[in-house]
Amino acid sequence: MFLANVTFEPGCRNNWHIHHASKGGGQLLICTAGSGWYQEEGKDAVSLEPGMVITIPPEVKHWHGAKSDSWFSHIAVEVPGEDTENEWCGPVTDEAYNQLDFATPASNKS
SS3 content of the chain, % helix, strand, coil (to 5): 10, 45, 40
Dihedral of the alpha carbons of 46, 1, 81, 30, in degrees to the nearest 10: -10
Q: Tell me the whole-structure pTM to 2 decimals.
A: 0.89
Residue pLDDT, tens place only, 49-105 = 999 999 999 999 999 999 999 999 999 999 999 999 999 999 999 999 999 976 544
Residue pLDDT, tens place only, 8-35 = 999 999 999 999 999 999 999 999 999 9
